[in-house]
Structure 1
Amino acid sequence: MTTRLRTLTAGTAFIAAAAFATALAPAASAAPADVTVSPSVSGNTITLNVVNKANKRIGCEIFGVAANTPPAASGVAFGYQTPEELGALISPGTSKNVTMQVATGTPPKPTGSTTIPNGTYDIYWGCATITLPPGSAREEFWGTNPPLTNMTPTAGAPIRVTVTGAGRAAPAPEKPASPSVPGFPQIQVPEQICVPWACYPVPTF
């Protein structure tokens, strides 16, 4: 199991899925609607909901780059990779929310904070069926190109998301105006009266 998933997630982390593709059995034709992803943004957190309607477990590789830039490994800002454990796979007929993490290291891997910097991003994704033992059945693939570099993509364009954080802070409430001196509407009562040795608050009635 560990060896099989490492094939999915190793190499140059996100972009070098070509080796992953050529190492597997011939790919079966995938129905695009069998595996879909949809994003949600809350504050500076990006979550992708992956829905698996295929008849096998799947593992996924996802990464985001600044919008309108080439999807090169050097430009990866964040991503997600299915961990190398059976329980992390997405079973048939289920869905899973995966949270994006900031990419760290060389090559970049999604191991950093889940707080994504403000900006607009293009998200590329790829999911593949995982069979046990490896090679016991034809594999199927879904997603963009890349990361499934040698595969026929089922999604023609990356997913565009914009992160704006929690928004602007609410303005502080305005302080009410001080009352005016009776008979002199242009003169406001001071909050305190000061003498050389101390200041005293003005009582309110």
Structure 2
Amino acid sequence: MTTRPTNAGIRKLSAGMAFAAAAATTIALAPSASASPGDVTVSPSVSGNTITLEVTNNANKRIGCEIFGVKANSTPTASAVVFGYQTPEELGALISPGTSKNVPMRVTAGNPPKPTGSATIPTGTYDIYWGCATITLPPGSVREQFWGTNPPLTNMTPTAGAPVRVTVTGAGPATPEPRSEAPTTPARPTVPRLPGIEIPEQICAPWACYPLPRP
């Protein structure tokens, strides 16, 4: 298998890339074959200022995805995109059937904006739009199936009715409370008028030891 058809197949997915024109409905992904909404799902995870989206592929083919985030309740235009993810043009980057993959969100950079910047997402609340499609080799040999929101998937019925809402607070994971170094058992009473000497728990003779009762 050569690199050229693999790249071509992934580029076909990127024809409607939201980073280039998030609101340009005239640049639409190809019509889709019938797809079950539960075959591809996403689940967000936020830690500190990082966002990861777990993509689960229960379809019967490999998939590639394009994802972008905008400020909550804002129009998903290209100029509004803050961060995102796009499957690299590598066969190994595709998500195989029956597997899940955690994809990191990155700040957009360049012109047109692409998700190649820092993984540190600014504090705020965001709506994440996503789209995934099956990748076939050679390209066009089978009709691709699509899952996700609209946009980035356009000219089709989305399988997800609303974007994923996440809030980035900048707070890291909770740190455990420090363990106390204090003894877990109370101290023995001290000898009267000799506060630095504790009464022992037992007294021993050469033939036996006898416990001393507490007062």
Same fold, TM-score > 0.5, yes or no: yes
Moved over 4 A (4+): 10-13
1:162 aligns with 2:135: no
Task: Give, in whole Å, the separation in 2 of the partners of 1:135 and 1:102.
Answer: 32
1:93 aligns with 2:98: yes
**Equivalent residue for 1:21?**
29
1:83 aligns with 2:88: yes
Sequence identity percentage: 77
**Equivalent residue for 2:202?**
none
Task: Give, in whole Å, the separation in 2 of the partners of 1:155 and 1:35.
Answer: 10
1:74/1:82 CA distance change after superposition, 3 Å: same
1:33-85 CA distance string (max 9 Å, x none):
00000000000000000000000000000000000000001100000000000
Task: Give, in whole Å, the separation in 1 of the partners of 2:110 and 2:76.
Answer: 17
**Equivalent residue for 1:152?**
157
**Equivalent residue for 1:109?**
114
Tell me which of 48, 56, 59 is aligned to 2:53.
Answer: 48
Kept in 2: contact 1:56–1:130 (CA 8 A): yes
Cα offset for 1:156? 0.3
Kept in 2: contact 1:8–1:17 (CA 8 A): no
Which segments of 5 or more consecutive residues in structure 2 lack a partner in the other structure? 1-5, 176-215
Kept in 2: contact 1:53–1:92 (CA 8 A): yes
Count of residues paired in the alignment: 165
Kept in 2: contact 1:18–1:148 (CA 8 A): no
1:17/1:90 CA distance change after superposition, 3 Å: farther
Task: Give, in whole Å, the separation in 2 of the partners of 1:92 and 1:140.
Answer: 13
Cα offset for 1:114? 0.2
Tell me which of 15, 35, 41 is aligned to 1:36.
Answer: 41
Task: Give, in whole Å, the separation in 1 of the partners of 2:162 and 2:16.
Answer: 24
The amino acid of 2:157's aligned partner reads T
The amino acid of 1:21's aligned partner reads L
For the pair shown, the structure with the greater C-alpha radius of gyration is 2
What is the TM-score when the length of structure 1 is the normalising length? 0.76
**Equivalent residue for 1:128?**
133
3-state SS in 2 of match to 1:6: helix
Kept in 2: contact 1:63–1:78 (CA 8 A): yes
3-state SS in 2 of match to 1:2: helix
